[in-house]
Chain A
């Protein structure tokens, strides 16, 4: 079955710096890659996603890139702010073929003022 690996498990950056989180997936048929942000005491919330027919997607300070050949995708946060501090999860799924979303193990991001 699908397996998603995520690195690093923790990441500390200074406010204003960039943060990059990387994930690899095992099933080459995967075609949907969302990223979820989980704040303390809350459930995860979708922040951005990408489909396999696109190599990069941006939304303000957040961007996601996908390399299908290498089977990895990354989340890039620029100009980080303290409110970006949270746990970030990547996930992979095979749309139209399965209803399952398999999550990575999470990255705890801390942004220091």
Chain B
């Protein structure tokens, strides 16, 4: 398996622009997580899905952030409008059925976002 695939790997945009990050989880994994990584705050959970349904979005910073999972093989994280403080590396991770029993997350390589 190719692992969790994220795109784009790097994104540079100007403040106010819309940003869409994409994720393809590992086939057969029922859980999908979006994390944000910054030097100051480390790895923060933004939102996660179980069987395409958002379970907990309490980590989403504000209304400018939204996430969708239209099917089992695709998820997006959208920021509109983007701000310089959104600059970070955004990770998508997936986990197989029984995550609650095993706990292991499989991370993608991340999308580095820079908002100027």
Partner-B contacts on A (CB < 8 A): 32, 34, 36, 41-46, 49, 89, 93, 95-106
Min CB gap B56→A, angstroms: 7
| Contact across chains for B42 and A89 when beta carbons are under 8 A apart | yes
Q: Does B103 contact A (CB under 8 A)?
A: yes
Closest residue of B by beta carbon distance from A97: B100
- CB-CB under 8 A for A43 and B110, given A96-B100, A96-B101, A100-B56: yes
Min CB gap A46→B, angstroms: 5
What are 25 A-B interface contacts by the 8 Å CB criterion? A32-B103, A34-B103, A36-B105, A42-B109, A43-B4, A43-B107, A43-B109, A44-B107, A45-B107, A46-B105, A49-B103, A89-B42, A93-B103, A95-B100, A96-B100, A96-B101, A97-B100, A99-B31, A100-B45, A100-B48, A100-B56, A101-B103, A103-B43, A105-B42, A106-B43
Min CB gap B90→A, angstroms: 11
Q: Does B96 contact A (CB under 8 A)?
A: no
Residues on the A chain within 8 Å of B4, using CB: 43
Q: Nearest 8 pairs between A and B by C-beta?
A: A43-B107, A105-B42, A103-B43, A32-B103, A46-B104, A44-B107, A43-B109, A43-B108
**Beyond known contacts A46-B105, A96-B101: 10 more, CB 8 A cutoff:** A41-B109, A42-B109, A43-B108, A43-B110, A44-B91, A44-B107, A99-B31, A99-B50, A99-B100, A103-B44
Residues on the B chain within 8 Å of A44, using CB: 43, 91, 105, 107
Residues 63-116 (chain B) with a chain A CB within 8 angstroms: 91, 93, 99-101, 103-105, 107-110
The CA-CA distance from A44 to B42 in the complex, in Å, is: 12
Of the listed residues A32, A98, A99, the one surrounded by the most CB atoms of chain B closer than 10 A to its CB is A99
